[in-house]
Every structure is written in structure tokens, then in C-alpha cells.
Amino acid sequence: MRIVFVGPPGAGKGTQSQRLVERLAIAHLSTGDMLREARQKQTKVGRLAEEYMAAGKLVPDELVLALVGERITSPDCARGVLFDGFPRNVKQAEELDAMLAERRMAIDMALELAVDDEEVIRRLAGRGRPDDEPRVVAERLKTYWGQTRPLLDYYRGRGILETVRGDGTIDQVFARVLKAVDKRAGRGGARGSE
Ligand code: AP5
Ligand code: MG
């Protein structure tokens, strides 16, 4: 199964992804994690991405798409992938569809994790990642509403969008996530295998 996880910063995408990839035995592809690793290793991509991440803006599409293009060819992605924080705009979504189509694959489900801005601000206030300072969180939220939210219409139009509330405990949210995945799998999105 190939799932796209969409939600504002701090919605809990990373937290829920860890559990979901274990449950479904699929690969976890987080562009945020990949970019942070590149930044830490000071690769060319990492150095180029740095200023955008620090400002809460999207890293240029071509950099992100190059990272993803390389990653999805690795064997662990053959059984399925949970895309966490990617795509981040409609252009990236179109490119992802094209990359998958070349391999006769497609996205089975887009999972929206809905959390309001106040909760995002509260959750990120105490975490301490370099981009969690209030000014950058405000910019990340702005980026989300302006550039990432339109993806929901993109996937809704294909009839593959499921929305899950991201408030409550991590266990409560995970139960909702599993319910949404089961619902979608029941409609023909192959679960686990493929
Ligand atoms: P990325 O790493 O993707 O960050 P993000 O989506 O903005 O936000 P987070 O990862 O902080 O949130 P999350 O939803 O994963 O929540 P988490 O589980 O961590 O992107 C970072 C930057 O990289 C971007 O700004 C951009 O510059 C760049 N980038 C990445 N992908 C890109 C792309 N495709 N294109 C261009 N640029 C890209 O949880 C957050 C906190 O809340 C944690 O402390 C957690 O413990 C807590 N928490 C989780 N669930 C709950 C709960 N139910 N109740 C209470 N607390 C909870
Ligand atoms: Mg994350």
C-alpha cells in the first residue's frame, strides 16, 4: 500500500508514521528526516536546504524530488511506502504520480491528520527542534495553509482522501488512523503486500 500523510507541522505525522509502518510492514519515507540527515552530513543538498528549513519555507522541489526519486527505487519500498511530509505542494504530487506511474504504481490513499493551529503551537513549543521557535512555526503554518492544503483537493478529486482527527492521545489517534486505513483497504487499496 502506498499512503501519503498530509497534515500541518506538529500534527503527529512522524509519531503516527512510526506505528503505522510497523503495523503495515511498509517503508517510511519522511522528506523532513531525509533533509535533516543531509543537513547534518553537510551534503550538497543538505547545505542548500538549510536556509529554507530554518526559515520554515519549502525546500525547492527539484532537491526534494531528487532525494525521493532515489529513495523509492530501494528494495524496501517495493512492499509499500508511507510518504510522511511529502508531497508538500501540487507540483510534488504530480511528480510523485509520474514517478510511480513509470513503475506501474499509484498512491492508494491520502491520509489527512487534522489538528488546529493552537494545538500545533502548543505541541511544538516545548519540543526544541531548531525550526520549532515560534517565529518559524508561524511561517511553517503559513506554508502549510498556502501551499500544502491545496493537496487535499487534489486527492479528494481522485476519491482517495481520508481525514482523521489528530487531537487526543497518541493511542486514540492511532486507532482512528487504523480505522481509516482499513476502510480504504476494504475498497481495494491492497493492504500490507504489493
Ligand atoms: P518536516 O520534518 O516534514 O516537519 P513538519 O511536517 O513541518 O512538522 P513535524 O515533523 O514537526 O510534525 P509531525 O506532524 O511529524 O509531528 P510529530 O509526530 O513530530 O519538515 C521540516 C522542514 O523540511 C520543512 O519546513 C521544509 O523546510 C522541509 N521539507 C520537508 N519536506 C519537504 C518537502 N516535501 N518539500 C519541501 N520542503 C520540505 O509531533 C510533533 C510533536 O507533538 C512531538 O513532540 C510529539 O511528541 C507531539 N505529539 C504527537 N502526537 C501527539 C498527541 N496526540 N498529543 C500530544 N502531543 C503529540
Ligand atoms: Mg515530522
What is the band of 191 on the pLDDT scale with cuts at 50, 70, 90?
Answer: very low
Label the pairing between strands 81-84 and 27-30.
Answer: parallel
Does residue 193 surpass a pLDDT of 50?
no
Does residue 189 surpass a pLDDT of 60?
no
Share of the chain above pLDDT 70, in %: 96
Q: Chain-wide mean pLDDT for the chain? A: 95
CA gyration radius for the chain?
16
Over the stretch 6-56, which tens digit does the pLDDT of each residue have?
A: 999 999 999 999 999 999 999 999 999 999 999 999 999 999 999 999 999
Write down the CATH number for the domain with range 2-26+79-185.
3.40.50.300
Q: In this structure, are residues 181 and 191 in contact, taking their beta carbons and an 8 Å threshold?
A: yes
At 194 the pLDDT is 43
What is the band of 126 on the pLDDT scale with cuts at 50, 70, 90?
Answer: confident
Q: In this structure, are residues 125 and 10 in contact, taking their beta carbons and an 8 Å threshold?
A: no
| Domain ranges within the chain, ordered by starting residue | 2-26+79-185
Q: At a CB cut-off of 8 Å and minimum separation 6, what does 44 contact? A: none
C-alpha of residue 120 to centroid of ligand 1, in Å: 10
Residue 137: CB within 6 Å of ligand 1? no
Q: At a CB cut-off of 8 Å and minimum separation 6, what does 130 contact? A: 53, 54
Does residue 89 surpass a pLDDT of 80?
yes
Q: In this structure, are residues 36 and 85 in contact, taking their beta carbons and an 8 Å threshold?
A: no
At 88 the pLDDT is 98
Does residue 128 surpass a pLDDT of 60?
yes
Mutate to test the pocket of ligand 1, among 20, 30, 58 (most ligand atoms within 8 A of CB): 58
Ordered DSSP codes for 142-179: HHIIIIITHHHHHHHHTT-EEEEE--S-HHHHHHHHHH
Rounded to whole angstroms, how far apart are CA atoms 132 and 135? 8
